[in-house]
Amino acid sequence: MTVLVIAEHDHATLKPATLNTVTAGIACASGDVHVLVAGANAAEAGKAASQVAGVAKVIVADSPSLAENLAENVAAQVLAIAKNYSHILFPSTANGKNVAPRVAALLDVAQISDITKVDSPDTFERPIYAGNAIAIVQSSDAIKVVTVRTTGFDAAAATGGSAAIETVDGVADSGKSSFVGREVTKSERPELTAAKIIVSGGRALGSAEKFQEVMAPLADKLNAGLGASRAAVDAGYAPNDWQVGQTGKIVAPQLYIAAGISGAIQHLAGMKDSKVIVAINKDEEAPIFSVADYGLVVDLFTAVPEFVKALH
């Protein structure tokens, strides 16, 4: 049983989500783990994938049709080699979730979504009800199409492997969609899903100006990603892509600092797997304290600036 992992990459480098997905792949495999790098001029990303520990073979599909990650084209590329595999694993990222259902539907199998554990090659665990219950899912499909919640698996070592690299022809453009443009938010700060430290603010911040004034200096001092609760995002205090939680990003950094966030289950669903959680809230009954390793029952408008001052 050989497992195929679909790499998340920018053609030159691998995105960290690929490494967690490889670990999940190794857990499913009784045979080898292969990685597909579907891209354009993606030899560098292919080389990076070949160095990942535990990968036996990298397949680089290179074509202009794969330059912009159009889901129809990437799905066709995966389908071109799908029959060689018992499992096809995608990271549960926006890209992975865009392609995996197409592959599952065209193979006429059920997709197994957002797994956090592999119990055996046909049995997987996945959170449901915002992480309040874990479903154990068994599949009898010949090819298992799976998306992997990356916070559920450690990253495979990015170096140490020496996989063979095979180059295959990329698929032709499907003609079903075309790339129009991309608006990318540029930030000096680490990307939320890859950040080692995240500083998050909630509704208590009161305004976009206060959010910046109070939270940004702490994030700067710690070289942290900035996150927010949905209430803070809905109120316009923070941009949409900062939202952490069930309907935002799922994160598991080494350190998560939540300031003025009550800890609703939908927020906890996105951050409770963080290694160390610090909560700053003036209400000692706030549910965030139930998952916090360190809790400060104080006014954040005094505590956070003091914290920043204390950091050298």
Ligand X SMILES: Cc1cc2nc3c(=O)[nH]c(=O)nc-3n(C[C@H](O)[C@H](O)[C@H](O)COP(=O)(O)OP(=O)(O)OC[C@H]3O[C@@H](n4cnc5c(N)ncnc54)[C@H](O)[C@@H]3O)c2cc1C
Number of Cβ atoms within 10 Å of the Cβ of 123: 14
Cα separation, 256 vs 289, whole angstroms: 13
DSSP 200-221: EE-GGG-SHHHHHHHHHHHHHH
The beta strand positions in 110-254, using DSSP E, are 111-115, 117-120, 123-128, 133-138, 144-148, 164-169, 197-201, 225-228
Counting other chains too, the contacts that 205-210 makes at CB distance below 8 Å and 24 or more residues apart are: 205/232, 205/237, 205/259, 205/260, 205/300, 206/237, 207/237, 208/236, 208/237, 208/238, 210/237, 210/301
Within 140-191, where are the H helices?
Answer: none
Residues of span 265-304 touching ligand X by CB under 6 A: 266-267, 270, 280-283, 286, 299-301
Options 126, 262, 289, 291; binder of ligand X; rule CB under 6 A: 262
Residue 92 within binding range of ligand X, rule CB under 6 A:
no
Cα separation, 29 vs 74, whole angstroms: 23
Residue 230 within binding range of ligand X, rule CB under 6 A:
yes
Minimum Å gap between C-beta 284 and ligand X is 9
Count H helices and E strands in the chain, helices first. 8, 15
Residue 2 within binding range of ligand X, rule CB under 6 A:
no
Q: Which is nearer to ligand X, 119 or 306 (CB)?
A: 306
Q: Nearest Cα to 41, choosing from 2, 22, 76, 68? A: 68
Residue 243 within binding range of ligand X, rule CB under 6 A:
yes
Residue 203 within binding range of ligand X, rule CB under 6 A:
yes
Options 229, 273, 279, 291; binder of ligand X; rule CB under 6 A: 229
Q: Which is nearer to ligand X, 255 or 300 (CB)?
A: 300
Residue 261 within binding range of ligand X, rule CB under 6 A:
yes
Minimum Å gap between C-beta 104 and ligand X is 25
Minimum Å gap between C-beta 281 and ligand X is 4
Q: Which is nearer to ligand X, 103 or 244 (CB)?
A: 244
Minimum Å gap between C-beta 276 and ligand X is 19
Cα separation, 265 vs 216, whole angstroms: 25
Residue 193 within binding range of ligand X, rule CB under 6 A:
no
Could you tell me which stretch among 32-40, 49-57, 158-166, 246-254 binds ligand X (CB under 6 A)? 246-254
Residue with tokens 């009898």: 140
Minimum Å gap between C-beta 258 and ligand X is 8
Using CB positions, name the residue nearest to ligand X.
245
Residue 46 within binding range of ligand X, rule CB under 6 A:
no
Residue 204 within binding range of ligand X, rule CB under 6 A:
yes
Report CA torsion sign: 242, 218, 224, 270: negative
Residue 102 within binding range of ligand X, rule CB under 6 A:
no
Interface residues toward ligand X, by CB under 6 A = 202-204, 229-232, 243-248, 260-262, 264, 266-267, 270, 280-283, 286, 299-301
